[in-house]
Structure formats: structure tokens, C-alpha cells
Amino acid sequence: MPRAEVKKLTLKDLAKILGVSTATISNAFNRPDQLSSKLRDEILAECERLGYTGPNIAARALRTGETGIVGVMLSDPLRYNFNDAVAHGFLSGLAEVFDEQHVSMLLLSSKEAPYHKPSIEAVPDYFIVYGEPRNATVLERLEYQHKKIITVDFDYKDYPSINIDNFQGAFDIAQYGIKQSKDCRIAILGLRLIEESALVNIVGEQLLDASRSISSRRLDGYLAALQQAGIDITPEQIWNIPFNETEISYEAARQVLTSENRPNLLLCMSDRVALAAIKAAADLRISIPTELRVVGFDDIPEASVCHPGLTTVHQPFVEKGRVTANLLLQDPAPIEQKRVLPVEVVKRESC
């Protein structure tokens, strides 16, 4: 039989050829614990010989209305989520629950290009949107599916959401940093505070809405602590770092630390930014914490092993993943449920 025709075999056709039920073949691929190892090996070997690679997910979805797959849309590039400790921890928390519930996870890029093929967003039963996509049309495409959606680290319409208390965490660590510093001169190294993808201060720029930006929430927390302490800060002292990456964060820190009115307290919106600032200070022979105090946000593993240890805000990123997965799989579906997880300041040698 020509190879092109073999590929068109259906589950029913294969069952007839092998003399077993369609359920037995399906179990060989999807539920191996239901068959003996010998029978499963025989079925899989015959399927491979005939060119059958397994039940069609799309066909199963049409027949049952379910695929057993959760789509996780990532606002940052896929590679970033494997290199960033916060994103990696969040995905690990999701995976723990999904493994227990025998649910599969499909990682999706928020770039618009992959969604030109409508079959991609048609596959998952539910969606988790991790971070607000830069392209709003992607969210609209998910809404057209009329499936359960949960957002993480931002709010969108009335959909359920999971956030950490970014405002309180930023307020608490700024307050702590101010109390440790004398003659406090502050600079804020922010992340994606504006739409422009450039390393600039925020003079004359429109800030992103706090309901959809964790950075804006953290900035509000910093500013509230400064106001309470009677400290004025100008837009020139607040920097927008477009990406949470070491190289551009290091560049930002060097610019700030070589400025005429050098700060003695850096409020950094992520640990990755703070660690880059510590390196820049070391290269410039600026002593920490004697001449400069640095605080971060997230409490990634590197924060506790760097020298000096980084004072930061601990966020439960693995637990955030678990909570999100459990809320998603909750039955009946949550209605307008928005959860905010607590955070806490972790004090180390950098401040």
C-alpha cells in the first residue's frame, strides 16, 4: 500500500486490521496502565509498521469536546521562560498540579504569527495567560473560543486572575531601604513602565495602566513609601528597562551610577536587574552597602548566594503556579474570582 494512503488510516480501520477494539488501541497510546506491557508493545509495533502515529487530537475534541490540554500563553519569548527563575518556578507549579490531574500543558507564544492558523487555539480546553501579551489581538482570538481563561500577573475584564501583592511588596522594601539609608538619594530601575522599548527615564512618557502592569503596581508602592517618608523623586530618577535581561540592566545601572547626582539607594523591580546593578557597582568600585544599597524583587535562588546577599521581596512563584492550576481546574468554573497572594521582605547584606 502506498505510504500516502497508509497515513490516512483511522482508529476504526486500524482496530479492524489488528483485531482489537478501538478502546484498546487508544489505551495503548493514552492509558498504558490499562494494558499488559506485552499487548501494548505489540499494538505500538504494528501501528508503527502501518504508519499510524496515534489518535487524532482534533478529532477527539470534535467527538468529546475535550482534549485534556491546557494552553499556557506566555507574554515573553519561549526561551525566556526557561531561563528566568520566576517564570520557570511558575511553570513548575502548574506542572505539579497538571501531573496529579493527568492534564497536559501546551506552551504558546503570544506573538501574533502562530495564531494565523486557527487550529492552534482550538486545541486546548482552557487557557492560562501568563503576563499581558504585547499584542492585544491575541487575547481577542482566545476569547472567540469561549473557553475558560485565567490571567496571571495582570487583570483582564472580568476573567479570574492570580496576582501577587506587588504594591505592598514594593512599599515594604522601599520603606525598609529608606530606613537603612542616610541622606537618601534614590533611583528606581523599573521594568517595562512604558510602551517604548528603550532604555530611558520616564520624563514625558505615559505609564502603563497599573491594572495590567506589575511594574506600574510596584512603582506605585515605591512612590507611596517615598511620599510617606517625605522624599521627593523626579521622573529623571525613574528608569524604564524594556526587558528583564542582564545586559541592558547592567547598562542602565552603569548610567545611573556614573551620573552627577549618584544615588545611594537603588530600588530595582526584579532580582535580575538588582544583580546586574551589584555587578556594575563592583566594576565601578562602589562599596555595597557602605556607599550604595540595592534591593530587588522576586527572591530568585541567585539572590541568596550572590555577594553581598540581595535584600529583596519574596514572591511565591511556585505556589502561584499551583494556585493558578487548581483554580483553573475548579468545577464549577470560578466567577470573577481574583486572588492576590502575599509577599514578604527578605533582609540580606545588600541593604
Q: How far apart are CA 303 and CA 294, in angstroms?
A: 12
Same domain, 193 and 308: yes
Count the alpha carbons within 13 Å of 281 in the hemisphere toward its beta carbon: 23
Reported as a pLDDT band with limits 50, 70 and 90, residue 207 is confident
Asked which of 8-12, 124-128, 267-271 is least confident by mean pLDDT, the reply is 8-12
Strands 148-152 and 126-130: parallel
For residue 320, give the H/E element and its range. Answer: helix 317-329
Q: How far apart are CA 291 and CA 281, in angstroms?
A: 10
pLDDT greater than 70 at residue 140: yes
Query: Percent of the chain at pLDDT above 90?
Result: 55
- Looking at this protein, which amino acid is placed at residue 234? T
> Any idea what DSSP says for residue 311?
B
141 in a structural domain: yes
Reported as a pLDDT band with limits 50, 70 and 90, residue 248 is very high
Same domain, 175 and 278: yes
pLDDT greater than 70 at residue 66: no
Q: What share of the chain is helix, strand, coil (3-state, %, to 5)?
A: 45, 15, 40
What mean pLDDT is reported for the chain? 87
Separate counts of helices (H) and strands (E) for the chain: 15, 13
pLDDT greater than 60 at residue 274: yes
pLDDT greater than 90 at residue 43: no
Q: What mean pLDDT do residues 83-96 have?
A: 95
The grid cell for 71 is: 494552553
| Cβ(150)–Cβ(127) below 8 Å | yes
Same domain, 143 and 253: no
Give the predicted TM-score (pTM) of the model.
0.79
Reported as a pLDDT band with limits 50, 70 and 90, residue 59 is low
Reported as a pLDDT band with limits 50, 70 and 90, residue 2 is very low
Same domain, 194 and 295: yes
Q: How far apart are CA 163 and CA 150, in angstroms?
A: 11
DSSP string of 44-63, one letter each residue: HHHHHHHT-----HHHHHHH
Same domain, 150 and 170: no
pLDDT greater than 80 at residue 32: no
Q: How far apart are CA 254 and CA 341, in angstroms?
A: 34
The grid cell for 75 is: 507574554
61 in a structural domain: no
Same domain, 46 and 117: no
Higher pLDDT, 56 or 347: 347
- Give the pLDDT confidence score for residue 164 in this predicted structure: 97
Strands 312-314 and 344-346: antiparallel
Reported as a pLDDT band with limits 50, 70 and 90, residue 1 is very low
255 in a structural domain: yes
Q: How far is CA 105 from the centre of its chain?
A: 14
The grid cell for 259 is: 551620573
Residue with cell 503576563: 131
Q: What are phi and psi of 126, to 5 degrees?
A: -135, 170
Higher pLDDT, 202 or 229: 229
Higher pLDDT, 306 or 205: 306
Taking the alpha carbons at both ends of the chain, their separation in whole angstroms is 73
Reported as a pLDDT band with limits 50, 70 and 90, residue 333 is low
Q: What mean pLDDT do residues 170-191 have?
A: 94
351 in a structural domain: no
> Any idea what DSSP says for residue 229?
T
Containing structural domain, residue 152: 69-162+318-340
Same domain, 271 and 281: yes
Count: domains in the chain: 3
Q: What is the pLDDT of residues 106-138, one digit of tens each?
A: 998 876 545 445 556 778 889 999 998 877 778
- Give the pLDDT confidence score for residue 73 in this predicted structure: 92
The grid cell for 280 is: 556594575
Q: What mean pLDDT do residues 187-203 have?
A: 87
C-alpha dist (Å) from residue 336 to 63, 162, 180, 272 = 30, 11, 41, 33
Q: How far apart are CA 108 and CA 173, in angstroms?
A: 34
- Give the pLDDT confidence score for residue 115 in this predicted structure: 47
Same domain, 49 and 78: no
Q: Please, what sign has the CA dihedral across residues 169, 175, 177, 179?
A: negative
| Cβ(54)–Cβ(94) below 8 Å | no
Q: What mean pLDDT do residues 287-297 have?
A: 97
pLDDT greater than 50 at residue 5: no
Higher pLDDT, 56 or 283: 283
pLDDT greater than 60 at residue 7: no
Same domain, 114 and 218: no
Higher pLDDT, 149 or 5: 149
